[in-house]
A = this chain, B = another copy of it.
Amino acid sequence: MLYFMSDYTEGAHPGVLQRLTELNMVSLPGYGEDEYCEAAKEKIKKFCGRDDLQIQFLTGGTQTNLLVISTMLRRYEAVIAAETGHINVHEAGAIEYSGHKVLTVPSRNGKVVAEDVAELAERFYDDGTHEHMSFPGMVYISHPTEVGTLYTREELRKLSEVCRKYDMPLYMDGARLGYGLMSPESDLSIKDICELCDVFYIGGTKVGALCGEAVVFTHGNMPRGFTTMTKQQGAMLAKGRLLGMQFDALFTDGLYLEIGRRGIETAMKLKKAFIEKGYELYIDSPTNQQFIILSPEQYERLSKIAAFSIWEKIDSSRIAVRFVTSWATSDEALDELISQL
């Protein structure tokens, strides 16, 4: 079976695993206070070109979204997300479980646009009864989005501007950030992200780690007590080294970007093949998730040789499906799939 189900179906990138193996017997303090966590933070700062960042490692995406959003919002505030935003749909109501409403704006090709946020905020503050409502307190975006699309620099700049106007931190979920940074269609750099977002995370789980995400606060705005709240949420690893060493490996010798590059390269090759063979794209994605429309017959046939997922049943004759590539996608698997299209 050719595996295109997702970008978290294999273990770690061999370079990451090697680092864990080499350092396995070194005795270190727990809870992320070891030297490898420190080194990894320094390397990430260098990668971002900024030495004033505050960085914390966490284990997974939902955990990170939950901790960041719930510690940055005031109790009476809500977070704004696209209707399709991961926190609004696929995180089991984690944000609400932490006490906060998710206010939605339309998904514009997977993205939150500045105009919609501005309108929501204006309407809110114009409303004479707004003290009886959840205050818009933060904006959540994902980059790449859940449907593989990317913010342009200009889109992010405008969104950031609206957020600052209404005093709402802008938070970017970068679960697949490595793939976004390496997409040839993107003009958004990591420096731009540091400048325009108040907080974001650099995804590890989907970009070569066994687990792990690196949260980055961009202007000294890490919430007071963040470490204690990490513990309080059950999100602190005793062996914090597991995260530190992996990110240390990912940010040594350009491995993180190399992983991103490989995911994009294979995705673009696959996309091109789909197009050439006459398949219709469901979404035109510039990243490692590709969304294709299949007929039931095509679906039947391809699902015998490849593992991929149904995204949406459009109607009786069209099924939107998702193929995902990653650092782990082999040329052999890719060529074999393409030959069968």
Contacts and interface: CB of A to CB of B under 8 A. Distances in A.
Nearest to A234: B63
Size category of the A interface is 35 or more
B237 A234 contact: no
B211 A92 contact: no
Q: How many copies does the complex hold?
A: 4
Interface string A208-247: 0011000000000000110111011111111101100000
A24 interface: yes
B74 A93 contact: no
Contacts of A21: 17, 21
Contacts of A229: 75-76, 92
B224 A92 contact: no
Best-surrounded residue of A6, A31, A97, A133 (most CB of chain B within 10 A): A97
Contacts of A168: none
Interface of A: 1, 3, 5-6, 8-12, 14, 17, 20-21, 23-31, 59-67, 70-71, 74-78, 89-94, 96-102, 128-129, 131-135, 205-206, 210-211, 224-225, 227-229, 231-239, 241-242, 307, 310, 328
19 contacts: A9-B30, A10-B26, A10-B27, A11-B24, A11-B26, A11-B241, A59-B237, A63-B235, A74-B225, A76-B225, A90-B129, A91-B231, A91-B232, A92-B131, A92-B133, A93-B101, A206-B238, A211-B239, A233-B234
